[in-house]
Chain A
Amino acid sequence: MTTATMNKSGLMAPPVAQTMQQRSLVIGVIAAIASVAGVFLAPGSFYSAYLIGFMFWLGLSLGCMAILMLYHLVGGAWGTVIRRILESGMMTLPLMFVLFIPILLNLPTLYFWARPEGLTDPKIAEIAHSYLNFNGILVRYIVYFVIWIGMAYFLNRWSTEQDSIVGQSTLRFRAMSSIGLVIYSLTISFAVIDWVMSLQARWISTIYGLLFIAGEALSAFCFCVVIESILGKRKPMSEYLTDTEVHDHGKFMLAFVMVWAYFNFSQWLIIWSGNLPEEIPWYVRRMNGGWETVALFLVVFHFAVPFALLLSRQLKRKARTLVWLASWLIFMRIVDIFWHIEPASHPTFHISWVHFAIVAGIGGLWMAHFFHNLRSRPLLAVNAPQTLRLLEPSHE
């Protein structure tokens, strides 16, 4: 099959994508209205819940961008089949840019360093004076998003251009991605220091950014498996998505489950070994008052059980079995972020309906935006390397 005979309209997303988009929008709008009501009905829960929802869905956008960059650098059929999913996922970044504004306008509610009583601690006052203050957060928030949206915009635009040009060099994708992955690692590290790590006053961890990088990559792969379980049964994805690629995505899930556990254990072991008063409060807070149950739940169901299950070849090879584990891990990603953020404002275990409303509200809008992006172009980048091979009849 040649590009000339390939029917681009035959590669558009199936009607189910439109249905999903409409349903997502309905769920998103209803849950968003409920969330807004939460500002008044449950003000004590709203802002930390909002930060949890924001960090999870932002992580998914950025995870999609990072995996897309990884694909541009190393290539492979595993990435060609999910490339448009990743691109559509990362192009939700402008939405996340807007959704940060409520956090920006309510820093004192969330962050100790932004409150007047925080400034009575001389060390916090010093940090708040030089780095952690409204202007600093504002400037850095704009810088992070300009960089992220800029990189996503060009990778996405070039990808659209590639659809109409045969045999074009992929150099610019690779150049952008090689620099982009470095920039992404640095910016996300600074961003989580600003938005999440600083929730715990006076506490620092140098591996903190990596915890989020590993989690975001895991979220992105799980999300791709969920989408391919929906679209993979229908044309056109059923024509080119095979067990081999699903198997690869399963292997990536296993790798990132392990990387997530490895980074978390590294941080914990070093702090446990040192046992120093300035390092342990983060864990003391998160291993008391009911939060220890959540911590144990994470160890068992974000690492141990998924790890054991993902060792199975049969489970990894079929999208219809892998999707259960992928959905579960997406849920555990939210629990992980919940465990990072919520204990900072509540010393004992606390959850309210607002948490669910906000995760669903931001999520519904995110998904609607995602499906809108996905439907605007063919599901397969027709001129990408590997694409022709994927469409060959002998490709099993």
Chain B
Amino acid sequence: MSEFSGNGPIPDSPISDSPIYGLMAEFDSAQELVSAAHKAHEAGYQKIDAYSPFPIEGLAEAIGFHKNRVPLVVLIGGLVGGISAYALQYWIAAITYPVNIGGRPFHSWPSFIIVTFEMTILFAGLSAAIGMLALNGLPMPYHPVFNVPEFAKASENKFFLIVFSNDPKYDAARTRSFLNSLAPRMIAEVPS
């Protein structure tokens, strides 16, 4: 399982003028990866991403965490669920099929709250799952990083940092020497 934070170019639209997707460096520990990511970000690289076998605290911030729009999708989903649940109950109980229950008003809002609450949660939860998949592009059958054989270890015990070739500061030789200065285990070119 690798953490994909989606800073890179969209993989299914390969960059035509360059067959190189990016430069990848491999690290032994989470700390090394976080500090390498910090240095790369400080050096001005914007299109970078990091991969690890488990979530690492502070890594998203280190590569220049960008806000995603999942919370907004969830908020809208929750509001839609809640409002439609309340409207449905009102329509049934007060307009189309009013029944006198214990002399209470047809529009007895307290009894509508539970369904409204449950539908808010349901819609918000589904929006979170669907919104996440829609915004991060999963499922993704092909991704260039897997062209590097060592990358399989991203699911086991190794940590990877990649600088994408569409980064404005990207330069095959200079970026390679910069990554070298971070003392990685190895550096690999990632074919797209």
Q: Which residues of A contact B (CB under 8 A)?
A: 244, 265, 268-269, 272-273, 275, 311, 313, 392, 394-396
Whether a CB of chain A sits under 8 angstroms from the CB of B149 is no
Shortest beta-carbon distance, A80 to chain B, in Å?
Answer: 14
20 CB contacts below 8 A, A to B, read A244-B57, A244-B58, A265-B113, A269-B111, A269-B113, A269-B114, A272-B110, A273-B110, A275-B102, A311-B75, A313-B71, A392-B31, A394-B31, A394-B34, A394-B35, A394-B58, A396-B34, A396-B58, A396-B61, A396-B62
**Which residues from A are CB-within-8-Å of B61?**
396
Within the complex, the shortest CB–CB distance from A15 to chain B, in Å, comes to: 31
From A269, A273, A313, A394, name the one whose CB has the most chain B CB atoms within 10 angstroms. A394
Give 17 A-B pairs besides A394-B31, A396-B34 with Cβ atoms closer than 8 angstroms.
Answer: A268-B110, A269-B111, A269-B113, A269-B114, A272-B110, A273-B110, A273-B111, A275-B102, A392-B31, A394-B30, A394-B34, A394-B35, A394-B58, A395-B58, A396-B58, A396-B61, A396-B62
A272 contact set on B, CB distance < 8 A = 110
Known A396-B57, A396-B61: A269·B35 in contact at CB below 8 Å? no
- Residues of chain B with a CB closer than 8 A to A394's CB: 30-31, 34-35, 58
A394 to B57, CA, bound (A): 9
- When distances are taken between beta carbons in the complex, the residues of chain A under 8 Å from B30 are 394
In angstroms, Cα B34 to Cα A105, docked, is: 62
Scoring B34, B57, B114 by chain A CB atoms within 10 A of each residue's CB, the highest score goes to B57
What A residues does B58 contact at CB under 8 A?
Answer: 244, 394-396
A273 to B30, CA, bound (A): 56
Q: B residues within 8 A CB of A268?
A: 110
Task: Say how far B184's CB is from chain A's closest CB, in angstroms.
Answer: 17
Distance (whole angstroms) from the CB of A34 to the closest CB of chain B: 42
Given the complex, which residues of B lie within 8 Å of A269, measured CB to CB? 110-111, 113-114
- How near does chain A come to B142, taking the closest CB pair, in angstroms? 33
Nearest first, the 10 A-B pairs at minimum CB distance are A396-B58, A394-B31, A272-B110, A269-B110, A394-B34, A244-B57, A396-B57, A275-B102, A396-B61, A265-B113
Bound CA span A395–B75, Å: 31
Q: Determine the residue in chain B with the shortest Cβ distance to A244.
A: B57
- Closest CB in chain B relative to A245 CB, distance in Å: 10
Q: Complex: how many Å from CA A281 to CA B17?
A: 79
- Interface centre among A244, A265, A272, A396, by most chain B C-beta atoms within 10 angstroms, is A396
Pairwise interchain contact A395-B57, C-beta atoms closer than 8 A: yes
Q: Determine the chain A residues whose CB is within 8 A of the CB of B110 once the complex forms.
A: 268-269, 272-273
Give Cα distance in the complex from A215 to B111, angstroms: 24
* A275–B62 CA distance with the chains assembled, in angstroms: 58
Measured in the bound complex, the distance between the Cα atoms of B111 and A313 in whole Å is 32
> A145–B189 Cα gap in the complex (Å)?
68
Task: Tell me, in angstroms, the Cα distance from A58 to B57 when the chains sit together.
Answer: 36
Closest Cβ of chain B: how far from A395's Cβ, in Å? 7
Complex Cα distance A311/B72, Å?
11
CB distance from B117 to the nearest CB of A (A): 9
Q: From residue B13, how far is it (CB to closest CB) to chain A in Å?
A: 31
Q: Given the complex of chains A and B, what is the CA–CA distance between A218 and B34 in angstroms?
A: 35
Taken together as a complex, chains A and B put the C-alpha atoms of A275 and B102 apart, in Å, by 9
Which B residues from 13 to 65 make CB contacts under 8 A with A?
A: 30-31, 34-35, 57-58, 61-62
A184 to B71, CA, bound (A): 36
Tell me how far the C-beta of B24 lies from the nearest C-beta in chain A, rounded to whole angstroms: 22
The smallest beta-carbon distance between B108 and chain A, in angstroms, is: 9
Q: A271 → chain B, closest Cβ, in Å?
A: 10
Please report the C-alpha to C-alpha distance between residue A394 and residue B61 in the assembled complex, in whole angstroms: 13
**A273 vs B111: C-alpha distance when bound (angstroms):** 8
Question: Of all chain B residues, which has the CB nearest A311?
Answer: B75
**Alpha-carbon distance between A272 and B105 when the two chains are bound, in angstroms:** 13
